[in-house]
Amino acid sequence: MKKTRVALLFGGKSAEHEVSLQYAKNVYEAIDRRKYDVVLIGIDQNGKWHLNDVHRFLMDENDPGHIRLRKGKGSLALVPGQNDGKVIDVLEHDAVGQIDVVFPILHGPFGEDGTIQGLLRLAGIPFVGAGVLGSAVSMDKVVMKQLFAYAGIPHARFLSFGYHQRDKINYDDIERIVGAPFFVKPANLGSSVGIHKIHDKHELKSALNDAFTFDNKIIIEECIHGREIECSVLGNEDPIVSVPGEVKPSHEFYDYDAKYILDGSQTVIPADIPEDIVDSM
């Protein structure tokens, strides 16, 4: 039986570069080699694409705080074919060959925001995951919440500000509208990068400076005291939903260190919640 040729696309220019490398390592180790031939394509932090050796594509791979991409030879470009995509090594002019499907394991901007999805659609290459619109909407927390409000989906109270409005952000106004404590977040980022929990006005300025480092738009969000319950959804018109699990962070909230660097956080599956609550989700 002919194997499906899968290109794992990982790394990227965003602040979640290292997170993507860790996930690429996990996917590569778990994928069934009896069914799939794997092509590894790493994107460095400058945006250059590299064809990687399957045996040596990461450095310090067992250290989440220092994991790095081992750059392959040359740079790559996606070239659309008549019926399929091909990856061409621009420097060596060697065709890597047909790619049946791309599995983007990119995180954050240029990876989860519809950018790479649009490029793959333009090249005519099938890919795993959400499409352009779903990716873009899900990445932008402000747009996502506005759509939640339109659809009547409950969500935390929030405010949003652009970089040009930073001098108008006032702690007392925020506390009056969303309460305290509250969270300051870059609008377009994940993995809790640039997120701060604000308890008093003395913490606000440095949190704003950090959040605006990653995005020119931020979201300020109400703190909801409760348990963090999550589930996975797989599929399109007829999706499959997993049983809910509960995240128990080792820190005050599920920040970057609690997710990826330090031991102590737990994910309990299934979550210990009443069956009627599960049925209503």
Residues 195 and 251 in one domain: no
Residues 153 and 54 in one domain: no
Residues 100 and 157 in one domain: no
d(CA 55, CA 62): 15
What's the pLDDT band for 77 if we cut at 50, 70, 90? low
Residues 127 and 233 in one domain: no
Region 155-181: mean pLDDT is 95
pLDDT at position 75: 56
Residues 156 and 112 in one domain: no
Residues 166 and 129 in one domain: no
Number of domains in the chain: 3
Least confident of 19-23, 78-82, 170-174, 239-243: 78-82
Residues 104 and 186 in one domain: no
3-state secondary structure the chain: CCCEEEEEEEECCCCCHHHHHHHHHHHHHHCCCCCEEEEEEEECCCCCEEEECCCCCEECCCCCCCCEECCCCCCEEEEECCCCEEEEECCCCCEEEEECEEEECCCCCCCCCCHHHHHHHHHCCCECCCCHHHHHHHHCHHHHHHHHHHHCCCCCCEEEEEHHHHHHCCHHHHHHHHCCCEEEEECCCCCCCCCEEECCHHHHHHHHHHHHHHCCEEEEEECCCCCEEECCEECCCCCEECCCEEEECCCCCCCHHHHHHCCCCEEECCCCCCHHHHHHC
What's the pLDDT band for 53 if we cut at 50, 70, 90? low
Residues 38 and 106 in one domain: yes
Domain boundary residue, one of 222, 250, 265: 222
- pLDDT at residue 89 is higher than 70: no
Residues 127 and 146 in one domain: no
Summarised one tens digit per residue, pLDDT across range 190-217 is 888 899 999 999 999 999 999 999 999 9
- pLDDT at residue 115 is higher than 70: yes
**Which residue did the predictor score with more confidence, 212 or 79?**
212
pLDDT at position 142: 96
Residues 34 and 91 in one domain: yes
What is the pLDDT of the chain when averaged over all its residues?
Answer: 86
Tell me, what CATH number does 181's domain have? 3.30.1490.20
Region 137-163: mean pLDDT is 95
Residues 214 and 242 in one domain: no
Query: Domain range spanning residue 252?
Result: 228-280
pLDDT at position 91: 45
What's the pLDDT band for 94 if we cut at 50, 70, 90? low
Region 162-170: mean pLDDT is 94
What's the pLDDT band for 264 if we cut at 50, 70, 90? confident
Residues 22 and 129 in one domain: yes
pLDDT at position 251: 80
Domain boundary residue, one of 134, 164, 189: 134
